[in-house]
Amino acid sequence: MRPLNPIELHFFYDGKPNGVADLVENYLVATSDESLFHPENVSRAWVAIKQIFPLLGATTKEIESQIPGALLVVSEFDLKIARPNATTLGMAQSEEEVHSFMDQLISGPRQLSDELLARLYIYSRTDKPGHFHALFHHCHLIIDGISALTMIRTFFDVLSLPPYPTIPDL
């Protein structure tokens, strides 16, 4: 647990009104191995990626005081579990449907919160078998565009590897 620095605090408060500072990244994956996107494999990869990038599993807590402030909380327990709503799997009938959902993430009611700073949505395309959209939705507070590229590449690496037996201790 640590206080947010001034820049992080700025992004924290920018995110409050409808996720002004939230980011959404859309990746289209074509694969002949649809088992990569089986719910258990996606959940496994998401939990593993939180071990590598712990802020994906962090929470924030606003401090009640005269001076605005908040804490960033990283719990080792939270990094080892698949939290409800952190990963969502669905189906889309077209690329336009996925883009419409992205517009809702950007312009609609905020889907992130102080308890859930990052989410992953996987949509299988019913019009194109073997095609999947991976939407990475996260608060700018914990990640920026450049670091998101590294995290996403690592996620796909982990997703495509066979499961390993234990999660290392932090």
pLDDT at 90 over 80: yes
Give pTM, 2 decimals: 0.92
Mean pLDDT score of the chain, rounded to an integer? 92
**What pLDDT digit, counting tens, does each position of 3-57 carry?**
999 999 999 998 888 788 899 999 999 999 999 999 999 999 999 999 999 999 9
pLDDT at 168 over 70: no
The partner residues of 3 in beta bridges, in order of sequence, read 71
Geometric angle at alpha carbon 142, from 31 and 112, rounded to 5°: 75
Q: List the 59-63 sheet strands across, edge first.
A: 2-3, 69-73, 59-63
Check residue 80 and give its pLDDT. 92
What is the pLDDT confidence band of residue 165, given thresholds at 50, 70 and 90?
low
Percentage of the chain lying above the pLDDT 90 cut: 82
**DSSP per residue over 122-144, as a string?**
EEEESSSTTEEEEEEEEETTT--
Check residue 17 and give its pLDDT. 82
Residue-level length of the chain = 170
- Find where tokens 């409800």 sit: 84
Tokens of 123: 């949509």
Identify the three-state secondary structure at position 28: strand
**CATH number of the domain at 2-14+22-160, out of 3.30.559.10, 3.20.20.140, 3.40.50.720, 3.60.20.10?**
3.30.559.10
Check residue 131 and give its pLDDT. 98
Top pLDDT among 141 and 165 is at 141
Check residue 67 and give its pLDDT. 85
Q: Which residues contact 32 (CB under 8 A, 6 or more apart)?
A: 130
pLDDT at 166 over 70: no
Does an H or E element contain 88, and which? strand 87-92
